Structure 1
Amino acid sequence: MSCVADLSQTQEYLSFRSSVPSRRIVVDSDNSKGWRLYDCGPKKVTCPLICLPPVSGTADIFYKQALALSAKGIRVICAEAPAYWNVREWCEGFKKLLDYLELDRVHIFGCSLGGYLAQKFAEYTVNCPRVSSLILCNTFTDTCIFNNHDSAAIFWILPALVLKRMIMGNFSSGKVDPEMIEAIDFMVERLESLSQTELASRLTLNCLKGYVEAHKLSNVPITIIDVFDECALSSSVREELYKCYPHAKLAHLKSGGNFPYLSRSGEVNLHLQIHLRQFDNTAYSAADRPLVNRTRT
């Protein structure tokens, strides 16, 4: 029997779950596959911020972003995909989801696998852009870093317990503070809620041979949020991401581990606001704010 994480018992999380309904949206012909969403903030905003989780995460891991940013008039959609077994299939499903929600363009905050898929979707829709900007957190551009291309073909038959142990092997880190411990415990609890099919499909996406054609994203505004302490991705992976996007803005956190959106939510939320502010007073604003004349006499 798994333990209950402290974060899932906080007033903040309980308030989120009681005030923001969970939606299940089916966009594929297979009715058993549905996207899970939490949609916060003004619905009149048509270019919202969409948050995509890592392998171990569910949509509600972004509750701190959803509550804080929606309180400032920003529309935030936390999204969790059903089982897709290759990147193109995932991109097609995500595009159908945006069509269903009547969203022509979106900003995407992607973490780890979510960040990789966000980049691939921007690449996939490059000829008819659907991504206004990207915020990438602890992510990568090439799946070769996992050295698991051959294993990707057998994840679908491995028991859930084996898959969970593989993922949890990346959770531990050297020095952790109470906030980071709470974040890890919460993510373990979320991981326990995922089915074998969900885990297997995510690990397959994570390890199938693939890379981002970063040159196709040269016109996409990008902010990279990284932590300086130990996390699952090495410094060489981080440097490769920087090389791919020399135009990106860098937002560095001194610490935060693998899940800074939980352990350092205040800092992450600030960087998200700063990134989105450049779109105020445009057709791609993520916030419902009155247009203002910024010129001064």
Structure 2
Amino acid sequence: MSYVSDLSQSPEYLSFRSSVPLKIIVVDIDNSKGWKVYDCGPKTVRCPLICLPPVSGTADIFFKQALALSAKGIRVLSAEAPVYWNVREWCEGFKKLLDHMDLDRVHIFGSSLGGYLAQKFAEHTVNNPRVASLVLCNTFTDTSVFNNHDSAAIFWILPALVLKRMIMGNFGSEKVDPEMVEAIDFMVERLESLPQTELASRLTLNCLRGYVEAHKLSDLPVTIIDVFDDCALSGAVREELCKCYPSAKLAHLKSGGNFPYLSRCGEVNLHLQIHLRQFDGTSHSASDRPLIQRS
């Protein structure tokens, strides 16, 4: 990789990479397809927080959440999927990953495409629930917002350079906030590391015609983390997400751009802790705090 960002050379990131091993977990018949997983915190926790990245992200983009929350006794996994070409296939693969790791239920923190897939997985497993709660960040419920349904059929043959330019067009570069610039640079570096097939499959998932049947998830605890400044999604898309989950807790950030988990990690981590705190002392706790003994 030719591009190197400041954040990837930071002591915090280097500490994460040196202390948390990257696991490649194969769950499909195709042995070339492996999930990339980082697993932080107490392994005794059976209902961890799993972070799912956007189109441009790799599993390590959530290193700030993994380090900070695991230090507080919360188990945090960050998972990056292999190549899947439709949502059902992705959901089946993710279910196999949870089965392989012996995780009956999980909390999911998803950003953009990761948030959409988190909702679709909760919907996919609604009759045999595998999702304890959702934290949705800068995400959507309907792929029609991208106006790219027809293009989805040809992403697989487009060169990696073309796909990367399509994605980077949404990053923005006019920000003067140092943390946001640093986050964008880091995400550009992650994007540069992705091969053509992975990019094409992610863009296909992002743009294939589909929507979340949110009424099926009405009993699921949901927190929506949203930014007030500009991001790749329009205000109308973000409003629609809130309408789909009228009982959701809203965590608004004054700023943060497309990648607040990097640029505003302190605030995002606080909201994640607040969200997970409601499960402390239950069988769905994401931390190693002892269960409350009920009489």
Question: TM-score under structure 2 normalisation?
Answer: 0.98
Does structure 2 conserve the Cα–Cα contact (< 8 Å) formed by 1:134 and 1:223? yes
Corresponding residue of 2:283: 283
Q: SS where residue 219 of structure 2 aligns?
A: coil
- Opposite residue 188 of structure 2, the aligned amino acid is V
Corresponding residue of 1:259: 259
Q: CA deviation at 1:160?
A: 0.3
Q: How does 1:151-162 map to 2 (within 5 A)?
A: 151-162=151-162
Q: CA deviation at 1:44?
A: 0.3
- Opposite residue 22 of structure 2, the aligned amino acid is S
d(CA) in 1 for partners of 2:284, 2:239: 30
Corresponding residue of 1:200: 200
**What are structure 1's unaligned runs of at least 5 residues?**
none
Corresponding residue of 2:143: 143
User: What percent identity do the matched residue pairs reach?
Assistant: 84
Q: CA deviation at 1:289?
A: 1.1
- Opposite residue 192 of structure 2, the aligned amino acid is E
CA 1:113–1:176 in 2, change beyond 3 Å: closer, same or farther? farther
Q: SS where residue 51 of structure 2 aligns?
A: strand
Question: TM-score under structure 1 normalisation?
Answer: 0.97
Q: CA deviation at 1:292?
A: 5.8
Corresponding residue of 1:39: 39
Corresponding residue of 1:11: 11
Corresponding residue of 1:180: 180
> Size of the alignment, in residue pairs?
294
- Opposite residue 277 of structure 2, the aligned amino acid is R
d(CA) in 1 for partners of 2:280, 2:232: 34
Does structure 1 conserve the Cα–Cα contact (< 8 Å) formed by 2:66 and 2:77? yes
Q: How does 1:268-279 map to 2 (within 5 A)?
A: 268-279=268-279
Q: CA deviation at 1:93?
A: 0.1
Q: CA deviation at 1:282?
A: 0.2
- Opposite residue 268 of structure 1, the aligned amino acid is V
Corresponding residue of 1:67: 67
Task: String of CA shifts for 1:249-278, please: whole Å, max 9, x gaps.
Answer: 000000000000000000000000000000
d(CA) in 1 for partners of 2:261, 2:189: 16
Q: CA deviation at 1:175?
A: 3.4
Does structure 2 conserve the Cα–Cα contact (< 8 Å) formed by 1:173 and 1:230? no
d(CA) in 2 for partners of 1:173, 1:130: 38
d(CA) in 2 for partners of 1:77, 1:16: 13
Q: SS where residue 144 of structure 1 aligns?
A: helix
Task: String of CA shifts for 1:118-155, please: whole Å, max 9, x gaps.
Answer: 00000000000000000000000000000000000000
d(CA) in 1 for partners of 2:176, 2:94: 35
d(CA) in 2 for partners of 1:33, 1:140: 27
d(CA) in 2 for partners of 1:282, 1:169: 44
Corresponding residue of 2:55: 55
Does structure 1 conserve the Cα–Cα contact (< 8 Å) formed by 2:175 and 2:181? no
Q: SS where residue 262 of structure 1 aligns?
A: helix
Q: SS where residue 108 of structure 1 aligns?
A: strand
d(CA) in 2 for partners of 1:160, 1:291: 49
Q: CA deviation at 1:291?
A: 4.0
d(CA) in 1 for partners of 2:161, 2:111: 23
Corresponding residue of 1:209: 209
Cα RMSD (Å) of the superposition?
A: 1.2
Corresponding residue of 2:117: 117
Q: SS where residue 51 of structure 1 aligns?
A: strand
Q: How does 1:94-105 map to 2 (within 5 A)?
A: 94-105=94-105
